[in-house]
Structure 1
């Protein structure tokens, strides 16, 4: 029996999602269905799917934005992407011509057209594999510009793509359009505190996939306990050793991914 392929379906219409479940063979595919763009990006990070079937019209962000993050933001040229749309193939091809897609699926579809789209994606050319050294997106939430400059200088450019936000509100605005894999968070911020930001990420947004590392000059036991309640992955005590910064952040990220896999975590459907 051939090895199963990991297939991620991004579709907010439950009736359409049910058709995928009906038509796709469990012997050939491990299927995960998510209903919005942000969970699609979370699933892409965790599952490393072989194929993504991507709806264009999603409730939180466009399919084009999702594809742009996968291809450009994460440099993933390996994953086959099939665009699913009620628009004509010509219209979709023109809209997505710069994003290296491997197939088209016109809605409404049947079993034959779905199989044809998947077969087309297997045969279509794609860019070279991105490999293991794809830069990880890092959001640094830090209001001290001297410290944020240290992150930008000492986090390896080949491994990390760093963006700095100087407040919790600025960070949340950035997260509306971007999905970094790692957040390095100062606790003492203007306006929204670091703990308030943590609550927003872990509780209000139910985000468990983003690796969050606290950076603080305060390492008192009660502060650490407060942060641990919100499932942080690491704690950097300022002033930190800049020479060890890259390895520390990578270690926190790798351990987090291992923990998520052991949990059997996949993105929620809603």
Structure 2
């Protein structure tokens, strides 16, 4: 694992620094007090203290997301994140090695795009889904992946992070504030009101909460001030299988009947016009 990232990790049990230890074919991160966390052969480290309350996205959901993102359909989000991160990170060559953390990273595609735009930065993908982390660990050469529950204390040192990404994921305002450098920025992506609007009624998908912006502000509490915000849109032209993949990778996958959904998708015909509309908020710590 990248030692420059490991240096900023902290034991989720006692908060002490971690270092990589190798015993035969086994690799782990250990703290001075003897707490040990195995590094899986797929490349991610399990930094959960105790059992997670849920397993996150399933292997099927992660596979769907990987296929959909690989087709470039959500590249508008990756590009917006990269553009917002550039002014935050010092230019290459000044000796700095800033850390970009994606809290709820999924497959790591958005984090990889940000790292591609910031050649001097390292990345840490945090997620509670093992299938997602298996992919995130391979998303970019400068990505380190760790199993962690973002609702709990994050396994990071105070002020260790230059840029924190949060894309369609839970927000832990107090912890985000603790691990973010005072000069850093939190980039939050949420669905806008008309995100996937063409599919909501026809397929019975979950609607975007009309009070989404207020809920985001409340989740960040008094820890952040929104510095700027912009809505990014793109029109997609999808096949029926791509629509099925899109539904399967999101929260509606938990709430739809597969047989009924397949029939409704077939009834849409092809191509299916779909609006991608997301809001990117740039937040500075208070």
Name whichever structure is richer in helix by fraction. 1
Structure with larger Rg: 1
Higher relative contact order (CA 8 A, sep 6+): 2
* Structure holding more strand per residue: 2
Instruction: Give the TM-score band, short-chain normalised.
Output: under 0.3
TM-score (norm 2): 0.26
